[in-house]
Structure 1
């Protein structure tokens, strides 16, 4: 079954909104395993609507695993299992009556490495997510939808005259913004980002960060980053993950970003954000 996305009418001089209603995301006592290996232990975290939550911590502490749990991508790995609940506005996305495609449509993902379809045009790349999710865009509204999403991703001005060129022709930073535009086309309520700037130069990183600042007015964002300066710049809240001496990853501390960086409650948080380990 396909679903048609109606395009909202825009008032004069007012941009159309991409997202459906933004949502609060809540993890309750989430534990995760790969086979017999436990990688997360009872992680609970509140991720407020219309704010950016940064997941920080050293490599191997379970941040990316936790991020993938938030839109059921954890299930793609055969040996993976989990306990606990992930609530999107109070509804468990792992409920047996809830379709996995619905969860992944409402909670979009932008990966560490840009992954546009290289031979597909920029125009078709933006619309590709609709096809993958069984969503049909009204034919007479596709041009507007492409422009809207590319604008929200901070890419429209750079590519508006070459929409029929292949996605692989863009720079790395432009490809990442194209992937953001593709994610926005299905109107997610939450957007997950797994180190979206790790492979980018400083200029491209700045543009992605500007895009994040604009998007949080419409979409709830959760981002994994190893860059403490970036976490301080883009996020409203932080959660510090840590796995010590072979134990599963846990959240040591979480709270408003200013407090996490300037007056953390745990000495391990202070050591990490000040670069003393990790």
Structure 2
């Protein structure tokens, strides 16, 4: 059923349900499977995705590849209900999070955003906020409470998981905006991890970074892969081959809405694709 999607995150944390972090650092929920079923998306009357179905296995990295304008980022944003933040946006189909539809009427949008985190193309730490407070910012937005000792342990844990702790542990009270671009992106990853997501969405997280910073973010992705399900949009075929377990190739042809041409294990997608369009794209012959 198609519906208008307009709800955004509540601005007042008092509107949010409270939650309690586990006292033991590292004690988080297991990765979750995402299963998109017949997902279509519109902006106004313009249909941008047509009946996309894709299973993203728990504890694995799934890369979404394809040329610009084929709906990859729109699909990514449907997975945690960010698509509905755009006025006039609409969606049909289901997104199952371990078997439960994230768009079900009884499911709070804040729960979806807490379970399914997101890292954007451009690093977006709060520039005047300290590194320490940046990591913990998501707790306030999700109404999560924790004592100071747990927060301290959580900051260290998340910065460590994001591959940033050794670089910033002596300046946690310095502004997050003073970090380099690559460090800022890893800080954003740490901020996403602090609310214990079971899935982490990444929309071209390295496109604005230099090669060294890109390598460090990729190392972070690989180190997190067995702890959280990751879905990443990338235009970098080498990156997709390096970090992902599975790939889905999106394409929009002749003015038609975007859809998946082919998906499967990354090695098979790159070395023995079933569709000639996939082979042409991964070998740089178009796009």
Which TM-score bucket, shorter chain as reference? Answer: over 0.9
Q: Is the 8 A contact 1:40 1:250 kept in 2?
A: yes
Are 1:168 and 2:184 matched, yes or no? Answer: no
Aligned residue in 2 for 1:200: 209
- 2: CA distance, partners of 1:18 / 1:151: 14
Match of residue 76, structure 2, among 52, 60, 67: 67
1:43-54 alignment, distance < 5 Å: 43-54=52-63
Match of 2:251 in 1: 242
Once residues 47 and 21 of structure 2 are traced to their aligned partners in structure 1, the CA distance between those partners, rounded to angstroms, is 40
Aligned mates of 1:139, 1:233 — CA distance in 2: 38
* Matching residue of 2:19: 3
Q: Is the 8 A contact 1:168 1:175 kept in 2?
A: yes
Aligned match of 2:126: 117
Give me the whole-angstrom Cα distance separating, in 2, the residues matched to 1:112 and 1:210.
17
How far off its partner does 1:59 sit?
A: 0.1
Structure 1 residues 213 and 188: CA distance shift in structure 2, 3 A: same
Match for residue 26 of structure 1 among 31, 35, 39: 35
Quote the offset at 1:137 in angstroms. Answer: 1.8
Aligned residue for 2:97?
88
CA–CA distance in 1 between the matches of 2:19 and 2:80?
20
Matched residue count:
271
3-state SS of paired residue (2:232) = strand
SS in structure 2 of the partner of residue 229 of structure 1: helix
Alignment of 1:98-113 (within 5 A): 98-113=107-122
How far the C-alpha of 1:7 sits from its partner, in A, is 2.2
Determine the structure 1 residue equivalent to 2:161: 152
Alpha-carbon distance between aligned partners in 1 of 2:136 and 2:247, rounded to the nearest angstrom: 32
Q: 2:87 aligned with 1:78, yes or no? A: yes
Gaps of 5+ in 1: 9-15
Question: Is this contact kept in 2: 1:86–1:94, CA < 8 A?
Answer: yes
SS of corresponding position for 1:39: strand
Match of 2:201, SS? strand
Paired residue for 1:213?
222
Is the 1:19–1:184 Cα contact (8 Å) retained in structure 2?
no
SS at match of 2:268: helix
Runs ≥4 residues deviating over 6 A: none
Cα distance 1:18–1:211, how it changes in 2: closer, same or farther (>3 A)? farther
* Cα contact 1:6–1:138 (8 A) shared by 2: no
**For the aligned residues, what is the CA RMSD?**
0.8
Taking a change above 3 Å as real, the CA distance of residues 79 and 18 of structure 1, as seen in their structure-2 partners, is farther
**Aligned-residue offset at 1:235:** 0.2
CA contact (8 A) 1:18 1:148 kept: no
Structure 2, unmatched stretches of 5+, are 1-16
TM-score (ref. length: structure 1):
0.96
